[in-house]
Protein backbone atom coordinates (compact mmCIF):
# COMPACT_ATOMS: atom_id res chain seq x y z
CA UNK A 1 0.00 0.00 0.00
CA UNK A 2 1.29 3.44 -0.80
CA UNK A 3 3.95 2.24 -3.25
CA UNK A 4 4.83 4.52 -6.14
CA UNK A 5 6.30 3.91 -9.58
CA UNK A 6 9.30 5.53 -11.27
CA UNK A 7 7.29 8.69 -11.89
CA UNK A 8 5.97 8.97 -8.35
CA UNK A 9 2.47 7.80 -9.31
CA UNK A 10 0.62 5.04 -7.44
CA UNK A 11 2.26 1.74 -8.40
CA UNK A 12 -1.12 0.26 -9.28
CA UNK A 13 -1.21 2.51 -12.35
CA UNK A 14 1.82 0.66 -13.77
CA UNK A 15 0.00 -2.65 -13.29
CA UNK A 16 -3.14 -1.20 -14.89
CA UNK A 17 -1.20 0.07 -17.93
CA UNK A 18 0.37 -3.37 -18.35
CA UNK A 19 -3.06 -5.03 -18.00
CA UNK A 20 -4.59 -2.61 -20.52
CA UNK A 21 -1.93 -3.67 -23.04
CA UNK A 22 -2.81 -7.39 -22.92
CA UNK A 23 -6.02 -9.36 -23.32
CA UNK A 24 -8.12 -12.09 -21.81
CA UNK A 25 -6.51 -14.37 -19.25
CA UNK A 26 -3.30 -12.39 -19.47
CA UNK A 27 -4.93 -9.51 -17.57
CA UNK A 28 -4.97 -11.28 -14.20
CA UNK A 29 -1.28 -12.06 -14.67
CA UNK A 30 -0.60 -8.44 -15.61
CA UNK A 31 -2.22 -7.11 -12.45
CA UNK A 32 -0.28 -9.65 -10.37
CA UNK A 33 3.05 -9.57 -12.22
CA UNK A 34 4.96 -7.76 -9.45
CA UNK A 35 2.94 -8.84 -6.42
CA UNK A 36 5.38 -11.49 -5.14
CA UNK A 37 8.38 -9.16 -5.50
CA UNK A 38 6.77 -5.97 -4.23
CA UNK A 39 3.60 -6.88 -2.36
CA UNK A 40 4.17 -7.31 1.37
CA UNK A 41 3.00 -10.75 2.46
CA UNK A 42 2.34 -12.05 -1.04
CA UNK A 43 3.79 -15.39 -2.07
CA UNK A 44 3.00 -17.96 -4.73
CA UNK A 45 1.44 -20.08 -1.97
CA UNK A 46 -0.81 -17.20 -0.99
CA UNK A 47 -1.92 -16.80 -4.62
CA UNK A 48 -2.76 -20.51 -4.59
CA UNK A 49 -4.65 -20.11 -1.30
CA UNK A 50 -6.58 -17.17 -2.79
CA UNK A 51 -7.80 -19.45 -5.59
CA UNK A 52 -5.72 -18.41 -8.57
CA UNK A 53 -5.27 -21.11 -11.20
CA UNK A 54 -2.01 -23.04 -11.58
CA UNK A 55 -1.49 -21.36 -14.99
CA UNK A 56 -1.73 -17.87 -13.46
CA UNK A 57 0.56 -18.83 -10.58
CA UNK A 58 3.14 -20.31 -12.97
CA UNK A 59 3.05 -17.13 -15.07
CA UNK A 60 3.47 -14.91 -11.99
CA UNK A 61 6.36 -17.14 -10.91
CA UNK A 62 7.95 -16.69 -14.35
CA UNK A 63 7.59 -12.91 -13.92
CA UNK A 64 9.18 -12.92 -10.46
CA UNK A 65 12.89 -12.12 -10.53
CA UNK A 66 15.20 -14.52 -8.74
CA UNK A 67 17.88 -13.29 -6.38
CA UNK A 68 21.12 -12.57 -8.29
CA UNK A 69 19.40 -13.14 -11.67
CA UNK A 70 20.71 -10.95 -14.49
CA UNK A 71 18.30 -8.81 -16.48
CA UNK A 72 18.83 -10.92 -19.62
CA UNK A 73 18.35 -14.22 -17.76
CA UNK A 74 15.18 -12.89 -16.14
CA UNK A 75 13.68 -11.71 -19.43
CA UNK A 76 14.59 -14.96 -21.20
CA UNK A 77 13.07 -17.07 -18.42
CA UNK A 78 9.88 -14.98 -18.27
CA UNK A 79 9.39 -15.25 -22.03
CA UNK A 80 9.44 -19.06 -21.89
CA UNK A 81 6.03 -19.01 -20.21
CA UNK A 82 3.33 -18.51 -22.84
CA UNK A 83 0.95 -16.66 -20.52
CA UNK A 84 3.73 -14.48 -19.08
CA UNK A 85 5.27 -13.57 -22.46
CA UNK A 86 2.88 -10.77 -23.53
CA UNK A 87 2.81 -9.45 -19.97
CA UNK A 88 6.61 -9.23 -19.83
CA UNK A 89 6.71 -7.41 -23.16
CA UNK A 90 4.02 -4.96 -21.97
CA UNK A 91 5.89 -4.51 -18.67
CA UNK A 92 9.13 -3.72 -20.49
CA UNK A 93 7.35 -1.25 -22.78
CA UNK A 94 5.71 0.53 -19.87
CA UNK A 95 8.95 0.64 -17.87
CA UNK A 96 10.75 2.03 -20.92
CA UNK A 97 8.12 4.76 -21.37
CA UNK A 98 8.25 5.65 -17.68
CA UNK A 99 12.07 5.70 -17.65
CA UNK A 100 12.18 7.99 -20.68
CA UNK A 101 9.51 10.25 -19.18
CA UNK A 102 11.33 10.61 -15.86
CA UNK A 103 14.93 10.75 -17.09
CA UNK A 104 15.91 7.34 -15.72
CA UNK A 105 18.40 5.39 -17.86
CA UNK A 106 16.16 3.35 -20.19
CA UNK A 107 18.91 1.09 -21.55
CA UNK A 108 17.97 -2.04 -19.59
CA UNK A 109 14.39 -1.84 -20.87
CA UNK A 110 15.53 -1.29 -24.45
CA UNK A 111 17.88 -4.27 -24.11
CA UNK A 112 15.06 -6.35 -22.62
CA UNK A 113 12.82 -5.52 -25.58
CA UNK A 114 15.63 -6.28 -28.03
CA UNK A 115 16.11 -9.66 -26.37
CA UNK A 116 12.35 -10.27 -26.35
CA UNK A 117 12.20 -9.50 -30.07
CA UNK A 118 15.03 -11.94 -30.71
CA UNK A 119 13.48 -14.70 -28.57
CA UNK A 120 9.98 -14.19 -30.01
CA UNK A 121 11.37 -14.07 -33.54
CA UNK A 122 9.54 -10.89 -34.49
CA UNK A 123 10.00 -7.16 -34.05
CA UNK A 124 8.32 -5.59 -31.05
CA UNK A 125 6.63 -2.30 -31.78
CA UNK A 126 7.01 0.47 -29.28
CA UNK A 127 4.06 2.72 -28.57
pTM listed for this prediction: 0.93
Number of Cβ atoms within 10 Å of the Cβ of 33: 27
* Residue-range definition of the domain harbouring residue 81: 11-120
Per the structure, the count of domains in the chain is 1
* Angle subtended at Cα 23 by Cα 19 and Cα 27, rounded to the nearest 5 degrees: 40
pLDDT tens digits in sequence order for the chain, 127 residues long: 478 877 788 899 999 999 999 998 899 999 999 999 999 999 999 999 999 999 999 999 999 999 999 999 999 999 999 999 999 999 999 999 999 999 999 999 999 999 999 998 888 877 6
Is the residue at 6 inside a domain?
no
Is the residue at 87 inside a domain?
yes
Is the residue at 92 inside a domain?
yes
Are 76 and 119 in contact, with CB atoms under 8 Å apart? yes
Is the residue at 4 inside a domain?
no
Are 42 and 52 in contact, with CB atoms under 8 Å apart? no
Amino acid sequence: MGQTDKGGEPYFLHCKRVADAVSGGERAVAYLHDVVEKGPGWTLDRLRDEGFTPAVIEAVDALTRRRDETDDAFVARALKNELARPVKVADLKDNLAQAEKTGIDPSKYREGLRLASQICGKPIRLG
